[in-house]
Chain A
Amino acid sequence: MRTRTFTLAARLLVAVLVLAAAGCGDSRSHAQAVYMLVDTSGTYAKQADKAQRVINYLLGTLNPGDSLAVARVVSRSFSEKDIIAKATFDTRPSEANAQKRAFQAKTEAFLKDVQPTAHTDITGGLIQGAEFLNETGAGTKTVIIFSDMQEDLDRVTVRNFPIKLNHIRVIALNVTKLNTDNIDPRRYLGRLAAWHKRVMAAGASEWKVINDMERLNSIFANS
């Protein structure tokens, strides 16, 4: 409350002073937008606590004016309904902090009782994420896929067509090895290589794999 009073008083004074400077501002957007896909299929649903850690890291790192959305990867993920929480943080730091608290509470509540799904539609989630990111108009757009990157579609779902991820960074996070990967590591490496190829063919600006949860700072290292 006190912060708001100060804000109001000082805003009047500085408004005139800043008007000229703001008028000739940089038209490019310096905001960041992050869309995080959380895989909730099969055994990967057990990684929910790790997903919450990543969300907390993002909330702590993103600045006022940035956007964040967390969506789940289900059997068919190309839907707004699968977005657990989304927010474009206010440009005022105090308001942004309040929004971040609410965001955290929302995602925490969801991930506490997450139910595993039968199939995994990563492509649908990517298309949905690209839509969200493009709408934000942010300067830097990032999709984080918290998944083992094993897509598993039902017979009806169609995803084998080229997608568009222009100027979007794609980061695969915590790509766990499946039992079959342990038998033949080429399956794991081949899976990652296939995603790399598909994502870059879609026009993505970067593809990165981060498996060490202690190196989350590298998410924004080159952005």
Chain B
Amino acid sequence: MSDLKMWMIWPGNPALSILVLALIAMVALYAARAPMHALLRSASQTLGGPLRLGARWLFGVAEELRARNKAVLLAQGRRETGQRIEREFERLALMVSRDLQGYPTLQRKLLEEITRVEEDYKKCGEVPPPPPDWVDAVTAVAKIKTGGGEVVQKILVDIRQSLESIHDKALAEYRRAYQMRHSILEGFMPYWRSLDKTMKQVDKNMTGIQDAAAAVDAQMVSYKEIAARSDEAESQLTNSAFTQFAIAAIVMAVALGGAFVNFKLIALPMSEMVGASDYITATLRTSEVAALVIILVEASMGLFVMESLRITHLFPRISNLDDRMRRRMIWISLSLLFLLAGIESALALMRDMLIADKQALLQSLATTAPVVNEGWLGHIPTAGQMVLGFILPFALAFVAVPLESFIHSARTVGGALLVHLINALGFAMRIAANLVKQLSRALVHAYDVLIVLPLLAEHLFRARRHGARNGAADRVDPRETTLHPLS
């Protein structure tokens, strides 16, 4: 309070003192107006300049990174699509050699069958011999009028009988001929069926080849787009990478669950081997690390098996080995995996024994009645643990496949996320630079608000001087509503 009084010009009249002090301060601030404005602008530039520069640099870096990501992604996509096309061609070649290799034989067979069918058909086409010429003679005789003569009648009866006998013969001959043709037609059936089957087979083969060719076409279109470095291809590849990343992550999470179960199975018995009282860190036992190491070694062996089988391609050196070496590697890795699985199974059994022993000890310490033996039912968990201990290492071996997908797609996903992060950072820096700029302007205006009275006086003075010079002192531009700083 005494400090405040010290500033009072008239201690008895604080209002007047404050007013006078304010006027003095206003005049002082007015005098310092130009340097203060310059200071504020300079400070704004000092702060905002690097921010803007940083933002521009970050955008540049993001663009470079994006271009690099695109190049890597397209190269990767090109390689993968190329491999896929290669595989499709191999499949197509296999189909062609398998299906069309026997095509000449098939064609010969087809032609033979068609020829045979044609011949038989021609045979079927043979019509029975026409009625003999004497039919006309009989017709003429039939027109003879008997006139009631017995001789003529007798002759006619004889002719009729002869004709009937001949007619029966001709009819029998005609029927026999048709029967023969029917039997030939019946003989057609197997050939027709064979022909039909052969044609269907040819159709199926051709369809299969067409499908394979269509798949190759689709891959080729994709390959062309990648080669053309189109944005669509990039977008497709990025989406595919994100999908792969997500799927691989899920599968790996499942595998981690399996590894955790595996770890639980062998952590306790490992303490029997390396001791339960050694610690790597305050909470991490050596036995637990040992169990973890065993699991990691199993996963590594699985990885080597997958690499040797050329299912995964994380280590080019392994896949480039000659077949003999690769086979050796497969057998060695598999043997070690088998051995480790056996050890795990034994450890699982030991775990059960240790738990049973501990349980028995606790029961004896608690002086409670021992648990009744459950017979063969009691052995189910033990057997289950042993089987699990044996199977899990082999199941873990397959982690190599999602791991490869994860690693490959992580490059794209990580790159894309990094680009977004850098862009976001650049954006934030640009916003900060703008904020600094606007803040500096606001401070300049705020400063002018503080010294509004001297500025008003200056404005009036200038207006009057300007008016006196032009003979129109009272004319002030009505649009001028703001006070301009001194130049």
Contact = CB atoms under 8 A, between A and B. Distances in A.
Q: Judge: A and B partners, yes or no.
A: yes
Interface of B: 268-282, 286, 289-290, 293-294, 297, 339, 343, 346-347, 349-350, 353-354, 357-358, 361-362, 364-367
A30 B270 CA distance: 18
Contact of A10 (B276, B343, B365): B343
A155 interface: no
Given A21-B293, A26-B282, A65 B343 contact: no
A156 interface: no
Interface string A57-69: 1011001111000
Give the dominant DSSP class at A's interface.
helix
B280 A25 contact: yes
A215 interface: no
- Interface size classification for chain A: 35 or more
B343 A13 contact: yes
Given A7-B350, A25-B280, 6 more contacts: A10-B273, A14-B274, A56-B366, A93-B268, A93-B357, A97-B358
Contacts of B350: 3, 6-7
Contacts of A97: 357-358, 361
A66 B275 CA distance: 12
Given A21-B290, A93-B268, A101-B361, A2 B280 contact: no
A47 interface: no
Contacts of A7: 272-273, 350
Given A64-B271, A97-B361, A18 B293 contact: yes
A65 B275 contact: yes
B290 A18 contact: yes
Give the dominant DSSP class at B's interface.
helix
A98 to B, nearest CB: 9
A56 B361 CA distance: 10
A3 B272 contact: yes
Given A17-B297, A18-B286, A18-B290, A9 B346 contact: yes
A221 interface: no
20 contacts: A3-B350, A6-B347, A6-B350, A7-B350, A9-B343, A10-B346, A14-B274, A24-B280, A25-B278, A26-B282, A56-B367, A60-B362, A64-B277, A91-B277, A92-B273, A93-B276, A93-B354, A93-B357, A94-B272, A96-B276
Contacts of A11: 273-274
A214 to B, nearest CB: 14
B409 to A, nearest CB: 31
Given A10-B273, A22-B274, A92-B271, A17 B282 contact: no
B272 A92 contact: yes
B353 A3 contact: yes
A93 B293 CA distance: 21
A31 interface: yes
Contact of B365 (A2, A24, A59): A59
A93 B277 CA distance: 10
A169 to B, nearest CB: 18
Given A14-B294, A30-B279, A93 B271 contact: yes
A97 B350 CA distance: 14
Nearest to A65: B277
Contact of A92 (B276, B286, B294): B276
Nearest to B353: A3
Nearest to B340: A13
Contacts of B358: 93, 97
B343 A17 contact: no
A134 interface: no
Contact of A22 (B277, B286, B294, B297): B286
B107 to A, nearest CB: 64
Contacts of B270: 14
A104 interface: yes
Nearest to A90: B275
Interface in A179-197: none
A60 to B, nearest CB: 5
A141 interface: no
B353 to A, nearest CB: 6
A7 B287 CA distance: 13
A64 B354 CA distance: 13
A72 interface: no
Nearest to B270: A14
Contacts of A21: 280, 286, 289-290, 293
A94 B270 CA distance: 12
A100 interface: yes
